[in-house]
A and B are shown apart, each in its own frame.
Chain A
Amino acid sequence: MDLITLSSNMLYAAFILYLVATLFFGATIRQKGRERNKKSIAGNIAIGITILGFLAHLVYFITRWMASGHAPLGNMFEFVTFLGMAMIFAFIIIYFMYRLNFLGLFALPIAMILIAYASMFPTEIAPLVPSLNSHWLYIHVTTVAIGQGILFISFVAGLMYLIKEIDQTKRTNKNTLLEIVLYVGFLFIGFIAITTAFNVMDYNATFEYQEGTEILETEYHLPPIAAPNNGVLLTEGVMEPWFETPAWMQGADAGRKFNTVIWSVISGTVIYLLTILILRKRVGAALQPLLRNVKADLLDEIMYRAVAIGFPIFTLGGLIFAAIWAQIAWGRFWGWDPKEVWALITWFFYAAFLHLRLSRGWHGEKSGWLAVIGFGIILFNLIVVNLVLAGLHSYA
């Protein structure tokens, strides 16, 4: 078995192990109050399997590095997969600080969605362009990912706090807002489901369109609902597009990306509606009883603590190391590139979060919302900035 095959098998193994670990974390819910204070067997098995999964994930990373000759952090698939790994790493650390099994029940599935999301991007090993060819690639990127992984735990704890504490007896603005946050999770699942389905069918439709002064071709792997602006369908025997992508959407392959978003929203919504149909209540309301036995104060503390730990690491990786590398590569440590600006926005946001914690009224629920928004900014920087706002970091 060659290294590349070994590497991708290890990633599968990690994914399956995380799934099994989630089931064991789920088993800890049934334990009664007193049992949970003792060392729980299910909890120990669960964290054991999580660590095993993390090791498999690490082997994926190392073997891919050996196969390609550079740290696998060069494109969207590689970075997002690594971010998933950093999230699991952060979870393991926080787990041993607080021994809270429920955290695994929420953190692992969300990290898994992200890892699956990563696999939707081209997974071939790509060569490095000259600007990325530096040791700072892995110094900068790994530090950022670990920082973001720890901030992710703050998001998980915040989300759990909101699910636990927000009243679900009748429909309110708050629980509607929480439902929207959960619905966004479904959009990711929808994206993964629809992309996988059409990948299996090997679907392909090619368009020709004009971008600025150039004529370009783009390949759709999902049936075209939205054609590129001024695009002409070249492939025969496929669905005719319903409309064109508006002209103000910019950047490489704007039409294809817009089309993917439309499909994700459609399939995500269908999956969400089916879920509601089965549960016969809001997803937030269905999750709430799972958290009955968790202390809200502990969740609040984990959410704050994770920001306190993650913020310095994020600053170091996302701003300081980033600036050092930019100085070496381009001779300017700061250039107001969209990615840089969004790193600064993330930093501003968490700085504001930490300062707001100084005043009394901002603990608990308000902090929970902030933790959710903070991670939303991180995801925005990862997905929208990379794929939509073109810049030095635009990948796919």
Chain B
Amino acid sequence: MDKLKCECGHVNPEGTVLCEACGKPIEGNQHIDGNDKKMLLNMRYEGSARRSQTYRKSFVDKVWSFFSSVKVGVILIVIALIASMIGTIFPQAQFIPPNAVSRDPAIYYEDQFGLIGKIYYTLGFHEMYSSWWYLLLLGLVGVSLVICSLDRFIPLYKALKIQKPKRHETFLNRQRFYSETENVTESDLERMKENLKKLRYNITEQDGHILAEKGRFSRWGPYVNHIGLIIILLAAILRTTPIMFTDEYVWVREGETIVLPGTDGEYYIENKRFIMEMHDPEDERFRDAIAQEGMVPSNFQTDVVIYKAEREVPGAEPELEPILEDSIQMNKPAKFDGYTLYQQGYQQNEFSSMTFKIHETDDEDATAIDSFTVDLFDPEPEYILDSGFRVVIEHYFPDYYLTEDGTPASETNYPRNPAFVLLVYPPESDTPEVSFLGIGRNIDATGENEYKVAIQDFETHFVSGLTLRVDRTLIFFGLGAAVFMIGVIQGMYWQHRRVWIHPKENGILLAAHTNKNWFGLSKDIEKAIEDTNINMVEDRQDLDKS
């Protein structure tokens, strides 16, 4: 490896632009940071030797150089940004509204949005954020992050560690803030040093050369925040494994006890009751708004008991040991043994029982002769009534619908739209009358029935939708976010400010640099040179523009 020896005696690694110790521009390398065409020096990475700018021959070098470019990083970010935007033009597949004509993406997009919708669907934009190329894009941003950081951090760290107060004259007079002063007294210099110390600058001296520096740690901010982002990306990868992340959705009826899915039969849940409360429309505070916009729910709550299953023999009926009794609300999940249960939804469309009455077909008042109640989850095959009637349930369709060929069937096993074929045996009769009965339907198949069955009353119950989650990656996401915030605050809210004083035979050169907030730096210098005859630095940024 070629080493570059500076006239100050320091040996710099190959590719160095500004001597690590004295800052003198190293001949032949000035094009790297674009210093050859400008009056001011590019101070971004202290002119340190970066791998990407030094080695560019082999394939690895080329890949490294490619990803270490901030421009490439920004382009990747902008592509991810545009892709994210496209994904919000139409709803993603998971957000297709429940009242849509069809929730099948293949139909929905074309039906709603025409040709553009069809293209959107065909290109897979309806599942943008889980598409391989979107994830690949985020991955490439991650790669760029790692390589950019490594390429810069190590040489920058070395350069800042090695820097000497004694700087080459060219280094000073090619800084943005610069002034020359003739005839500076010793006491003026002392006063300036004192002032800088008061402003919390660290002063180091070497042969009368002075370096005042503060906030160097802010230079590490970008690298710290990039580490935070990398932790977040790694956590996202971890999350795809089932050990670290489980997600189950469970519907529990009121009064029902079922096994919790995703727990290997270890835990059971009982839904004691579901509560939906509404804001009081008479509440003085909200009266106007409710009158305009309609009723507003105030609480969704499921009172649950969680049981742990104890099995003496594997496969045997478990003994259920209650371990937790809790009320799950929105924003108030229940936690047990690493699992978390969230209130997610509810259904009100299930019937628990129905009461029927029997009356004479010609009775206009429909006076009940007798009545009976059917438990819709567990109907009995036959009901024998006190009045002597006998009712046999011939067919029961809990969730009735008519198939395309016209036969009745049940869509699910849940009593959402119960319908029955009943055989009614009048007292002391062996010939049944056939009735078909459902919600809004009461069909007398023969038209000769003497007695009619009708729905007299019914009870409904809530079904509560709960999400069960185990997420062991949360801690990593939290850590990543915390590291990111520390880094970004470190880098943004502090600045690395340096002031150099270079003695001449009769006077001094004064130069200063900061990575941001030049306004703040100029105020610092104004304060530092107060009551001295040292000249204020000139902001020479404009000279650089041509």
Docked-complex contact A130 and B297, CB < 8 angstroms = yes
Docked-complex contact A311 and B492, CB < 8 angstroms = yes
* Other-chain contact of B77, A127, A250, A348 (Cβ < 8 Å): A348
**Does residue B88 face the partner (Cβ distance < 8 Å to A)?**
yes
* Other-chain contact of A125, B286, B297, B333, B489 (Cβ < 8 Å): B286
Docked-complex contact B289 and A359, CB < 8 angstroms = no
Mark contacts of B510-525 with chain A using CB atoms, 8 A cut-off: 1 yes-contact digit, 0 otherwise: 0000001111000000
Q: Write the chain A residue with the least CB distance to B71.
A: A359
**Does residue A177 face the partner (Cβ distance < 8 Å to B)?**
no
User: A residues bordering B, Cβ < 8 Å?
Assistant: 67-69, 97-98, 122, 124-131, 133-134, 136, 211-214, 247-248, 250, 297-298, 301, 304-305, 308-309, 311-312, 315-316, 319-320, 323, 327-333, 336-338, 341-342, 344-345, 348-349, 351-352, 355-356, 358-360, 385, 389-391
* Other-chain contact of B34, A305, A319, A360 (Cβ < 8 Å): A360
Docked-complex contact B70 and A358, CB < 8 angstroms = yes
Docked-complex contact B292 and A336, CB < 8 angstroms = no
**Does residue B336 face the partner (Cβ distance < 8 Å to A)?**
no
Mark contacts of B86-118 with chain A using CB atoms, 8 A cut-off: 1 yes-contact digit, 0 otherwise: 011011101101011100000000001110110
| Distance of A315 Cα from B482 Cα, bound (Å) | 11
- Shortest distance in angstroms between A136's beta carbon and chain B's nearest beta carbon? 8
**Does residue B300 face the partner (Cβ distance < 8 Å to A)?**
yes
Docked-complex contact B298 and A127, CB < 8 angstroms = yes
Docked-complex contact B288 and A124, CB < 8 angstroms = yes
| Distance of A352 Cα from B82 Cα, bound (Å) | 13
Q: Write the chain B residue with the least CB distance to A126.
A: B289
**CB<8 Å pairs between A and B, sample of 10:** A67-B285, A122-B289, A126-B293, A133-B331, A211-B99, A304-B516, A305-B517, A305-B519, A323-B477, A351-B77
| Contact partners of B90 in chain A: CB under 8 A | 250
| Contact partners of B292 in chain A: CB under 8 A | 122, 124
Docked-complex contact A297 and B541, CB < 8 angstroms = yes
* Other-chain contact of A348, B80, B477, B539 (Cβ < 8 Å): B80
Docked-complex contact B112 and A250, CB < 8 angstroms = yes
* Other-chain contact of A355, B70, B97, B467 (Cβ < 8 Å): B70
| Contact partners of B542 in chain A: CB under 8 A | 297
Q: Write the chain A residue with the least CB distance to B75.
A: A352
- Shortest distance in angstroms between A98's beta carbon and chain B's nearest beta carbon? 7
- Shortest distance in angstroms between A249's beta carbon and chain B's nearest beta carbon? 10
| Contact partners of B77 in chain A: CB under 8 A | 348, 351-352, 355
- Shortest distance in angstroms between B88's beta carbon and chain A's nearest beta carbon? 4
Asked, given contacts A345-B81, A355-B73, whether A315 binds B467 with beta carbons under 8 Å apart, the answer is no
- Shortest distance in angstroms between A141's beta carbon and chain B's nearest beta carbon? 14
- Shortest distance in angstroms between B285's beta carbon and chain A's nearest beta carbon? 6
* Additional A-B contact list (7), CB under 8 Å, known A332-B247, A355-B74: A68-B285, A97-B519, A131-B330, A248-B113, A305-B519, A312-B493, A331-B340
| Distance of A323 Cα from B117 Cα, bound (Å) | 30
| Contact partners of B71 in chain A: CB under 8 A | 359
Docked-complex contact B516 and A308, CB < 8 angstroms = yes
| Contact partners of A131 in chain B: CB under 8 A | 330-331
Q: Write the chain A residue with the least CB distance to B280.
A: A127
**Does residue B392 face the partner (Cβ distance < 8 Å to A)?**
no
* Other-chain contact of A341, B38, B84, B289, B485 (Cβ < 8 Å): B84
| Contact partners of B80 in chain A: CB under 8 A | 348
Mark contacts of B266-287 with chain A using CB atoms, 8 A cut-off: 1 yes-contact digit, 0 otherwise: 0000000000000100010110
Docked-complex contact A341 and B112, CB < 8 angstroms = no
| Contact partners of B417 in chain A: CB under 8 A | none
9 tightest CB-CB pairs across the interface, nearest first? A212-B99, A331-B342, A126-B289, A130-B330, A127-B279, A124-B289, A134-B331, A124-B288, A348-B81
Q: Write the chain B residue with the least CB distance to A308.
A: B492
User: B residues bordering A, Cβ < 8 Å?
Assistant: 34, 38, 42, 44, 70-71, 73-74, 77-78, 80-81, 84-85, 87-88, 90-92, 94-95, 97, 99-101, 112-114, 116-117, 129, 247, 279, 283, 285-286, 288-290, 292-293, 296-300, 329-331, 333, 340, 342, 344, 467, 469, 474, 477, 481, 484-485, 488-489, 492-493, 516-519, 539, 541-542
Asked, given contacts A126-B296, A312-B485, whether A133 binds B492 with beta carbons under 8 Å apart, the answer is no
| Distance of A122 Cα from B541 Cα, bound (Å) | 51
| Contact partners of A320 in chain B: CB under 8 A | 481, 485
Asked, given contacts A312-B493, A330-B344, whether A349 binds B81 with beta carbons under 8 Å apart, the answer is yes
Docked-complex contact A212 and B81, CB < 8 angstroms = no
| Contact partners of B541 in chain A: CB under 8 A | 297
Docked-complex contact A348 and B84, CB < 8 angstroms = yes
Docked-complex contact A344 and B84, CB < 8 angstroms = yes
* Other-chain contact of A69, B70, B101, B285 (Cβ < 8 Å): B285
| Contact partners of B493 in chain A: CB under 8 A | 308-309, 312
- Shortest distance in angstroms between A167's beta carbon and chain B's nearest beta carbon? 16
- Shortest distance in angstroms between B37's beta carbon and chain A's nearest beta carbon? 10
Asked, given contacts A130-B331, A352-B74, whether A213 binds B101 with beta carbons under 8 Å apart, the answer is yes
Q: Write the chain B residue with the least CB distance to A135.
A: B331
Of the listed residues A98, A248, A298, the one surrounded by the most CB atoms of chain B closer than 10 A to its CB is A248
| Distance of A304 Cα from B516 Cα, bound (Å) | 9
| Distance of A298 Cα from B520 Cα, bound (Å) | 11
Docked-complex contact B286 and A127, CB < 8 angstroms = yes
Q: Write the chain A residue with the least CB distance to B295.
A: A127
- Shortest distance in angstroms between B537's beta carbon and chain A's nearest beta carbon? 14
| Contact partners of A309 in chain B: CB under 8 A | 492-493
* Other-chain contact of A336, B42, B73, B129, B342 (Cβ < 8 Å): B129
Q: Write the chain B residue with the least CB distance to A298.
A: B519
| Distance of A129 Cα from B101 Cα, bound (Å) | 27
Asked, given contacts A309-B493, A352-B77, whether A127 binds B70 with beta carbons under 8 Å apart, the answer is no
- Shortest distance in angstroms between A77's beta carbon and chain B's nearest beta carbon? 11
| Contact partners of B117 in chain A: CB under 8 A | 248
| Distance of A385 Cα from B87 Cα, bound (Å) | 13
| Contact partners of B488 in chain A: CB under 8 A | 311-312, 315
| Contact partners of A332 in chain B: CB under 8 A | 247, 469
Docked-complex contact A212 and B285, CB < 8 angstroms = no
| Distance of A213 Cα from B100 Cα, bound (Å) | 7
Asked, given contacts A305-B516, A330-B342, whether A127 binds B290 with beta carbons under 8 Å apart, the answer is yes
| Distance of A389 Cα from B101 Cα, bound (Å) | 18
* Other-chain contact of A126, B116, B286, B329 (Cβ < 8 Å): B286
Q: Write the chain B residue with the least CB distance to A342.
A: B88
| Distance of A341 Cα from B293 Cα, bound (Å) | 28
- Shortest distance in angstroms between B196's beta carbon and chain A's nearest beta carbon? 21
Docked-complex contact A212 and B100, CB < 8 angstroms = yes
| Contact partners of B288 in chain A: CB under 8 A | 124-125
Q: Write the chain A residue with the least CB distance to B478.
A: A324
Docked-complex contact B81 and A336, CB < 8 angstroms = no
Docked-complex contact A133 and B330, CB < 8 angstroms = yes
| Contact partners of A130 in chain B: CB under 8 A | 297-300, 329-331
Docked-complex contact B331 and A212, CB < 8 angstroms = no
Q: Write the chain B residue with the least CB distance to A356.
A: B74
| Distance of A45 Cα from B87 Cα, bound (Å) | 49
| Contact partners of B112 in chain A: CB under 8 A | 247-248, 250
| Distance of A127 Cα from B292 Cα, bound (Å) | 12
| Contact partners of A124 in chain B: CB under 8 A | 286, 288-289, 292
| Distance of A94 Cα from B5 Cα, bound (Å) | 47
Docked-complex contact B331 and A329, CB < 8 angstroms = yes
| Contact partners of A348 in chain B: CB under 8 A | 77-78, 80-81, 84
Asked, given contacts A127-B298, A309-B493, whether A328 binds B519 with beta carbons under 8 Å apart, the answer is no
Docked-complex contact B289 and A127, CB < 8 angstroms = yes
Q: Write the chain A residue with the least CB distance to B477.
A: A333
| Contact partners of B283 in chain A: CB under 8 A | 127
Docked-complex contact B342 and A389, CB < 8 angstroms = no
Docked-complex contact A129 and B297, CB < 8 angstroms = yes
| Contact partners of A351 in chain B: CB under 8 A | 77
